[in-house]
Structure 1
Amino acid sequence: MQDDPQRESRSKVRWLVAGLMWAAIAINYIDRTVLSAAAPHIQGEFHLSAVEMGIVMSAFFWSYALLQLPAGMLADRFGQKKVLGFAVFWWSLATAATGFASGLKSLVALRVALGIGEAGAYPSNAGIAYRWFPKKERATVAGIFDSGSKLGGAIALPLIAYLLATFDWKITFAITGSLGLVWCVVWQFTFKDSPADHKRVNAAELAHIRDGQRSSRADTLKARASWKKLLAHRNIWAMCIGFFMINYNSYFFITWLPTYLVKERGMSLMEMGFMASLPLVISMFVEVLAGWASDRVYSSGKLSLTATRKLFLVIGLVMASSIGLAAFAQSAVMAVVLLCIAKSGTTVAASQVWALPADVAPRNMVSMVAGTQNMVSNMGGVVGPVVTGAIVGATGSFIPALVFSSVLIAIAILNYVFLLGKVEPIQFEDNPVEFDNHDQRNADVSA
């Protein structure tokens, strides 16, 4: 009876895996944020100009964005356990070693190293979601692991401020770097690339994981699709364009929002600190709820996978468009409420965005697709703060900048509704894919 999936009580190891994925992203954001809090101390000690400090801060984003695709390819080739484990180990060492920096050049080198390591996190997590979770739970796990970024962003500044006040900035980097090293030890002894190889995954959970996945015969096939053909597919373009627009808006909340609240809304520093954290904290819970809700809708059989993904993408992006309304709010409180709705909307969309790579990628290319999507999206994070600053500088107001962000959200909605086609594994003549019965019963809505 123990091996009968129908009678055996299902184990829940996959949710332990989801917890480790979440922790990796939370640590990821803590480690990338520590420099921002320590910047005044570092700038003073090394006598860096504002321009030089800006170079140090931007060094991370270039290596992080540009290495998303290579990191995804490595994860697909060598397995997510090795790549994610090495990535966290690498970036944790880079974080800890920042305390030994001696000036501008070493700071830039260490921030580049941090970006190299952190590039492996999201592509690996997308691949793990494909291997460890059935299709009807992927939005939930995507919402869980991506919510780690909001927690990391929300708690990083107060946590790091406390460490800086208690110790010096060098010890602070060592402490935050050690978090990832502890995670690596747990990861090494807990995770397996395949749930079938995990001793604590019983037959009932394994059957549940494989429900709605491609057939076991197809699982043995190597992906032979050309990555050039893959990148030319309309769904990949739609995923990249949409996520670029979403990230353009998301980065406002971790770059310009404090300045907006102080200069445009007249808040004190204490008020700003609390209000600026609200959108991140609230959106963390909204994202998990949205992922769970979309999986419930899909599991009910009332909507196809395509219709479910598009529905929640549009709902989230309509909410995100509230950023334009916030510009015209009569009170600071109403502006913050609208910004909380807007940020929560980007996370509703993100719960679907991070499920899409597992939904559409050919066999053994999930991490590569996720890396491609994240590479383009982070370019939105690179140019977003610059464009916002340029608009505010030219007009003397945040109103045009927030309205422009809302316009980009409208473009993202059109992109997902019309350019994104049927949500199913991309097929070429040389990589046929089998589908589950649920998909065969439900005719997907195609743009």
Structure 2
Amino acid sequence: MIQAANVRSRSRVRWWVAGLMWAAIAINYIDRTVLSAAAPRIQSQFHLSAVEMGVVMSAFFWSYALLQLPAGFLADRFGQKKVLGFAVVWWSLATAVTGLANGFKSLVALRVALGVGEAGAYPSNAGIASKWFPRRERATVAGIFDSGSKLGGAIALPLIAAMLTAFDWKLTFAITGLLGLIWFVVWQFTFSDSPRQHKWVNAEELAHIESDALTGQHDGARPSLRQLLKHRNIWAMCIGFFMINYNSYFFITWLPTYLVKARGMTMMEMGWMASLPLLASIVVEIFAGWASDRVFASGKLSLTATRKLFLVIGLLMASSIGFAAFAESAWVAVLLLCIAKSGTTVAASQVWALPGDVAPRNAVSMVAGIQNTVSNLGGVVGPIVTGAIVGATGSFVPALLFSSALIAIAIVNYLFLLGKVEPIGLDGTATQPQAREHSHAP
């Protein structure tokens, strides 16, 4: 009875924090998706080839991928509040001025600037999750904040399509840039790096968080990049997420053009149809994170088996992108793309829990940055490769089949290269905390 009373009286500030993390990612993706929704108009206005448009779409990822590790290091060093707050302001301003682009070169430069700011989002969120949530809630919160990427894209596509019908595309960038500035004000007044420092967190919630969270940010020496790269799990996380992101970013780069040019949709039809895979994946990702946490908490599967099970289920779903290439009906193609995108998010709910599972306690954002650096190389090469394949063959079919083949590689990677999911020691080995793999204390 006493335990039940404590649970009832527990504050729930950590879920407010999860909401702020979700909102940051949603705005992040609204701002990066605007270009994709406007791509047919921009390509026509500036007379860009398919390859040039692919370069413009990938330019964001050049800086975004390269700055993941520095962003993670800075978040661990100076705190996620400062780093994420600064990042949101930077990328919001970069978005607002994108409407000033006047051709290929300026579009590339402004997309690179956008990537500089957005690099701080995911590494910071991974670090926040490790300090604000116990391990048995970490896949749930990962599913929540990463689902913001799908809602951001889903909102942007029909909204931008409607604005393109009524207004010039340049105004859209200025309006969307304001969203992050509003978020920043709320963030400054309602978030603190540590639950212990937050005035709204009561003793019961703090005990719950610290029962299984990485609460000590500066325990011991911070590991170097070389020390982290000695561990095979870091490599498996990077390789697998590269394959996932190659597929995932098709939905926010080439999907609108695919629906217009390959499936013959109008701009408004494209806006709604392109949003369906993203909307479906929101529900699926949150459910997958919650379900995996319930499976792990039940004690029926170890943390390692739970992570691998949900990764493989998600990737099998993601392979549907190859079947979409042969669908005769546009509706069937969209349905298969919904399944494929949902599959990438099932996997993502585990992918974003892994840094908190394996990283030394003072380097979670850094490990997340390493993983996201490599994964976003998929965002760099994906749009270019897709554009090159479409340009060479005049068809999206081989491009979608190639994406499906990469998913098969990801499955093999997570099954065999990813080892036991447990914290990494500074010498590159795994630590062996007592009952770490099977601890499910309430």
Whether these two folds match at TM > 0.5 is yes
CA drift of 1:337 comes to 1.9
CA drift of 1:29 comes to 1.2
Q: Is the 8 A contact 1:258 1:276 kept in 2?
A: yes
Alignment of 1:37-186 (within 5 A): 37=37, 50=49, 56-99=56-99, 107-164=107-164, 168-186=168-186
Alignment of 1:26-425 (within 5 A): 26-37=26-37, 50=49, 56-99=56-99, 107-164=107-164, 168-213=168-213, 221-425=219-423
Distance 1:279 1:79, change over 3 A: same
Distance 1:311 1:160, change over 3 A: same
CA drift of 1:18 comes to 0.6
CA drift of 1:370 comes to 0.8
Cα-to-partner distance string for 1:351-375 (whole Å, 9 max, x where unaligned): 0001111111112111111111111
Report sequence identity in percent: 77
Q: Which shifted more, 6-15 or 101-110? A: 101-110
What SS class does the counterpart of residue 376 from structure 2 fall into? helix
Q: Any stretches of 5+ residues in structure 2 without a counterpart? A: none
CA drift of 1:390 comes to 3.3
AA partner of residue 31 (structure 2): D
Q: Any stretches of 5+ residues in structure 1 without a counterpart? A: 443-447
Q: Is the 8 A contact 1:212 1:436 kept in 2?
A: no
Q: Is the 8 A contact 1:224 1:431 kept in 2?
A: no
Cα-to-partner distance string for 1:202-236 (whole Å, 9 max, x where unaligned): 1111111112235x6x6651343222120232101
Q: Is the 8 A contact 1:22 1:146 kept in 2?
A: yes
Q: What's the counterpart of residue 15 of structure 1?
A: 15
Distance 1:5 1:76, change over 3 A: farther
Distance 1:384 1:211, change over 3 A: same
Distance between the aligned counterparts of 1:28 and 1:143, measured in 2? Answer: 16
Distance 1:262 1:149, change over 3 A: same
Distance between the aligned counterparts of 1:242 and 1:296, measured in 2? Answer: 24
What SS class does the counterpart of residue 437 from structure 2 fall into? helix
CA drift of 1:32 comes to 1.8
Q: Which shifted more, 312-321 or 102-111? A: 102-111
AA partner of residue 221 (structure 1): D
TM-score by length of 2: 0.89
CA drift of 1:177 comes to 1.4
Distance between the aligned counterparts of 2:159 and 2:297, measured in 1? Answer: 40
Q: Is the 8 A contact 1:314 1:413 kept in 2?
A: yes
Distance 1:86 1:431, change over 3 A: farther
In the alignment of these two chains, the number of paired residues is: 438
CA drift of 1:115 comes to 1.2
Distance between the aligned counterparts of 2:318 and 2:144, measured in 1? Answer: 19
CA drift of 1:119 comes to 0.6
Aligned CA RMSD, in angstroms, stands at: 3.0
CA drift of 1:106 comes to 5.4
